[in-house]
Structure 1
Amino acid sequence: MSMVNPSTDYLMTKVDSRYGLVVCGAKRARQLLDGAEPQAELQSTKNVTNALEEIAEGKINYVIKKEQ
């Protein structure tokens, strides 16, 4: 049984790299901590878990900006 729900394998289908997943999850968790409106039904009291659930549900996307 996996301790992470949603699973890391499933989350990796939503992003292009583990680094992207970590950055996106951390930034979204910070937004939730600062009072941002949740995009999905909260299943946990932990912001990181809620951020990962939002990513898994496709509610949160990220874009990598290229430097000019």
Structure 2
Amino acid sequence: MAHQPIEELLPKSGFSVYRLVRMAAIRALELADGKPPLIKKTSSDKLTSIALEEIYQGKLEFAEEADGKSGAPADGKSSSEKSEA
């Protein structure tokens, strides 16, 4: 899917455009660093499109940090846990 409908993506981010963009950007950076996509078929080679498709398909969930601020995509580990490993 080249175009993800915003009406279907917003509920996955708590109806926050900021959270949705932040989540997609962080995931796109992870993909750029070599992390494999969580979906098999993509209609685009663009990393942000792949990240949005992962969100759309429910492969990523949004994580809240301990201080209540928006965190990275919840794919098992936080960014700080990944850097310590």
TM bracket (short chain): 0.7 to 0.9
1:35 aligned partner: 34
Give the superposition deviation at 1:62: 1.7
> Which structure is higher in strand share?
2
The normalised TM-score by structure 1 is: 0.85
- Tell me which stretches of 4 or more aligned residues in structure 1 moved more than 4 Å: none
Give the superposition deviation at 1:66: 3.2
In 2, distance between residues paired with 1:57 and 1:19? 19
Unaligned 5+ segments in structure 1 are none
Q: How does 1:1-68 map to 2 (within 5 A)?
A: 5-16=3-14, 17-41=16-40, 42-67=42-67
Q: Is the 8 A contact 2:12 2:55 kept in 1?
A: yes
2:72 aligned partner: none
Q: Aligned-pair RMSD on alpha carbons?
A: 1.6
The normalised TM-score by structure 2 is: 0.69
Give the superposition deviation at 1:9: 1.1
Unaligned 5+ segments in structure 2 are 69-85
Give the superposition deviation at 1:67: 2.0
Q: How many residues align?
A: 65
In 1, distance between residues paired with 2:34 and 2:53? 17
In 2, distance between residues paired with 1:12 and 1:52? 11
Q: Which has the higher contact order (CA 8 A, sep 6+)?
A: 1
